[in-house]
Amino acid sequence: MYGSDLPFGDPSVATLSTAQRAAIAGHWRHRARSELQVGRAFAAMVPLLRQRRASSAVLDRLERGADEEVRHSEICSRLAET
């Protein structure tokens, strides 16, 4: 699933209690922060590994991973809002 295919309009969300919704939202906010931390860690590795002449395949994957983690964080934030 990549965000656009997630069921954000699922009517079952409305049947959850306020406490349940708060707990679930808290979980997704935590996940959003975690995804950003991983993305930042990937991004921080790129210049260090570039200095050590890491292969372009490794650097490309880290850069792509950093971007993907930002997107994952956005999805998690949207789930928390839902």
Angle between helices 18-51 and 56-81 (to 10 degrees): 160
pLDDT top residue among 6 and 59:
59
pLDDT in tens, 19-45: 999 999 999 999 999 999 999 999 999
**DSSP structure class, residue 6:** S
Q: What pLDDT score does 9 carry?
A: 82
User: In the chain, where are the structural domains located?
Assistant: 18-81
For residues 47-68, average pLDDT: 97
Cβ distance 80 to 29 under 8 Å? Answer: yes
